[in-house]
Amino acid sequence: MKIDYSDRMVIWEWDASVIKIELPDIIHAEYHKDENIVIVYSGENFISKTIFYYSLEGKLLGQQNLLEGTLDWNHNGKHQVIFQHLHHLRFNPNNQRIFSILRSSSNFDIPSELEIYNLEGEKIYQIESPAGFTMLYISEISKEKLRIVCEALKEDYFDKYGRSDFYFNLDLETRKWVKDGFAY
């Protein structure tokens, strides 16, 4: 799907309609096929401060305040989650989940944790990164699994060419990790 944007307007076509959203200080806008939503990044000097999540019909689904570490959304009422040391977030209303990668501090040399919330704002799982790795970002989402790029914490986990970033699949039912090749 093609999305056009300027610093004040995001435009896309959906179901024979043209959707136009006005927002201040737009930095970037993109379509996420896994979530089937449009994500708009807003801020100043190319530094995002707010991320807006829209349905393809143009309805505001939620918004993330990066400075305060909050995510606000509507689902059977208003909800908010406050994150400490948030590294990466994926808002996934299609599967009624929120996926957040957290660190216990701003230190990247320690394992991270994945927290999974339902759309009622309740934490349903907390999963540690694969042994010897820390999670960087979620690259793909399906109902059954997540594909997450993880970085090795020690050279023992690098491959023979010195590569340290790998894909891992996380089965959402069993919560088991399976290494799935190099991440480029």
pLDDT for 143-184, tens place per residue? 899 999 999 999 999 999 999 999 999 999 999 999 999 997
How do residues 77-93 score in pLDDT, each as one tens digit? 999 999 988 899 999 99
- Cα(first)–Cα(last) distance of the chain, in Å? 24
- The model scores a pTM over 0.85: yes
C-alpha span between 90 and 170 (Å, rounded): 15
**CA atoms within a 13 Å half-sphere pointing along the CA-CB vector of 70:** 8
Q: Are 53 and 62 in contact (CB under 8 A)?
A: yes
How do residues 105-135 score in pLDDT, each as one tens digit? 666 677 899 999 999 999 999 999 999 999 9
Strand partners, 41: 28, 51
